């Protein structure tokens, strides 16, 4: 993507025309009923009203920026469906389906597939190997960064390449607190990404430094605040409010940083990006 393309995107946002299209799922049935990542503790109570308020504030933020938000109907018995980013990957109007590692989330993949089939997406690639959608697949404009180590099977990365025809940069996650790639890496624009070095092995760090001309290093504190589970449209960065130093670093570089509250959703290991699947045309 060129600087002129980025400028056109910025103009589109400023003029009120939707620049991005997202799929989200209301947290109607959100709860922490099981533990499949280090953040989840079924003994910790969840405030449903506060969770819905956090989610609605996030949705309203996107709309206020001129983005479009489509809704996926929540399914009773699937408390993690609010994390819509995990259910698929969409690039160029083509969809790569998900296949979840844990049986507790398996039926979410079917719900996503049905939504895409019902909304005119004709090029849908089902998953053979485990991949958890944009949880472990990060679109980096000229390539896809694909994580593995805790959820996604590295063999799935070949399917990713076949689905979209983009180069795939495979990186290994080594810290279980950052069990998905989108908790440790956020692409800000076509030149810039933010990351937490402690989440990656040495080979992965080298690959990231080669791919991105500018890398913003997040502190462990900001990474644990899910500051890297942010959503950027190239100009605005929607980020958890308590990622203080990363917010400052992005602001210093000229980005419009928009803090949001994600405290309840974090109890299940999620933040803004987890709740947001981008539908790239």
Strand partners, 24: 71
- Euclidean distance between the first and final Cα of the chain, in Å? 15
Quick check: is 275 catalytic?
no
Nearest to 140 by CA among 86, 93, 207, 201: 207
Entry field: residues in the chain = 281
Instruction: Give the number of other CB atoms < 10 A from CB of residue 49.
Output: 8
d(CA 263, CA 269): 10
Lookup: tokens for 221: 């504190």
Instruction: Give me the sign of the Cα torsion angle 117, 18, 140, 262.
Output: negative
* Chain center to CA of 232: 10
Nearest to 105 by CA among 85, 124, 125, 86: 86
Lookup: tokens for 61: 């933020």
Lookup: tokens for 232: 């950027």
231, 237 contact by CB (below 8 A): yes
77: left (phi over 0), alpha (psi -120 to 50) or beta: left
Quick check: is 161 catalytic?
no
Tell how many helices (H) and how many strands (E) occur in the chain.
Answer: 7, 15
**Cα–Cα–Cα angle for 241, 232, 92, rounded to 5 degrees:** 150
Q: Which of 67, 180, 186, 275 is catalytic?
A: 180
Q: Which of 112, 148, 186, 274 is catalytic?
A: 274
* Strand 94-97 relative to strand 124-125, pairing: parallel
Provide the annotated active-site residues.
Answer: 180, 274
């Amino acid at each position: 993507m060129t600087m002129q393309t980025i400028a056109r995107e910025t103009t589109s946002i400023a003029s009120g025309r939707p620049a991005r299209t997202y799929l989200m799922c209301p947290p109607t049935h959100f709860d922490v009923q099981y533990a499949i990542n280090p953040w989840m503790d079924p003994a910790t109570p969840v405030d449903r009203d506060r969770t819905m308020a956090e989610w609605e504030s996030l949705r309203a933020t996107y709309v206020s920026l001129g983005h479009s938000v489509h809704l996926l109907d929540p399914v009773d018995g699937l408390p993690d469906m609010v994390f819509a980013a995990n259910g698929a990957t969409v690039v160029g109007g083509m969809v790569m389906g998900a296949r979840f590692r844990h049986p507790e989330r398996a039926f979410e993949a079917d719900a996503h597939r049905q939504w895409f089939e019902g909304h005119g997406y004709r090029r849908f690639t089902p998953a053979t190997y485990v991949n958890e959608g944009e949880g472990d697949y990060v679109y980096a404009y000229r390539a896809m960064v694909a994580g593995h180590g805790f959820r996604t099977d590295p063999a799935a990365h070949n399917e990713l390449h076949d689905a979209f025809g983009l180069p795939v940069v495979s990186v290994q996650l080594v810290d279980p607190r950052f069990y998905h790639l989108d908790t440790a890496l956020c692409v800000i624009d076509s030149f810039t990404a933010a990351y937490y070095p402690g989440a990656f092995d040495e080979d992965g760090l080298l690959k990231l430094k080669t791919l991105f001309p500018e890398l913003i290093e997040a502190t462990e504190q900001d990474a644990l605040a899910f500051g890297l589970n942010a959503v950027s449209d190239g100009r605005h960065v929607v980020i958890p409010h308590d990622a203080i130093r990363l917010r400052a670093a992005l602001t210093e570089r000229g980005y419009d940083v928009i803090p949001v509250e994600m405290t309840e959703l974090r109890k299940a290991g999620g933040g803004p990006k987890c709740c947001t699947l981008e539908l790239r045309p």
